[in-house]
Amino acid sequence: MAFGKNRQDAPFEAVHWDEITQFTVGRMMRRTVRKSKRGEGPHAVRFMRARGGDEYMVPGVYIVPAEPAGPLAKGGFRLFEDEGGRQLLCTVLPDRSDRFRVTDATGRELGSVHRTPTAKRLTQQSLWMEQPGHPAIVAPRNWARGGPGAALGRGVGRVLGGVVDSLLSFGSDEAGSGADLKPVVWVAGAEGTEGEGAAGEYGQAVLTFPRSTEGKRWYFVERDGWLDKRLAFALAVLRESETLGADHR
């Protein structure tokens, strides 16, 4: 058992990437009021652990640009299970202007992340996903009258376990001030999309971004759902890099 400073600095128990259900993207290691205590680490997909009254952003998957010093949203990137870059998890590379192919360590295609055409961005968020054998995964804007809270109250789709309270507590889908962001819900087989998959998958909320406040930007994905978490990580990294300008957080 460690005590004092050693206990504070002891590493957190590793979590397998497929067990991560709540994550953020960035370099910040600890969330505290004092900036001097936050610290920065490698650019990574991070999960939260609490210790000594502080929230630690623990790296779970490491982000390495495909082009050194190049923007992730243009040149693509690779995700690794280890900081040393020996255990490749997946590769995310653009193959058209609107599509990023996501492949595993052997080169097998896992799916893709797409940019929404400009003409559709009034009704659909700027990034969406495809996973073979399943409906397209799209985040409609104002996907239910009154916002996500109203939709959840009417039982639209199958909502991620534990996310209802998060959505409601983070606020409605009204525009926030400053750095605050609206909630976003990626839904399988949303209206106007086509795809394969079982009928029961349509309308499922598979990835959720509750409203961002005070710099907190978390993504939620179901632990045992059918969405490959590597696609969720890829979309979040692209969104943070391209939309939110967080390449160097």
* Residues whose CB falls within 8 Å of the CB of residue 172, separated by 6 or more in sequence, listed in order: 146, 147, 148, 149, 183, 211
Quote the pLDDT of residue 9: 66
Contact 143, 154 (CB under 8 A): no
Q: What is the pTM of this model?
A: 0.79
Average pLDDT over residues 60-85: 92
Q: What is the pLDDT of residue 197?
A: 59
Residue 195, pLDDT > 90, answer no
Tokens of 232: 């969720």
Confidence of residue 168 (pLDDT cuts 50, 70, 90): very low
Residue 2: is its pLDDT beyond 50? no
Count CA within 13 A, CB hemisphere, residue 123.
6
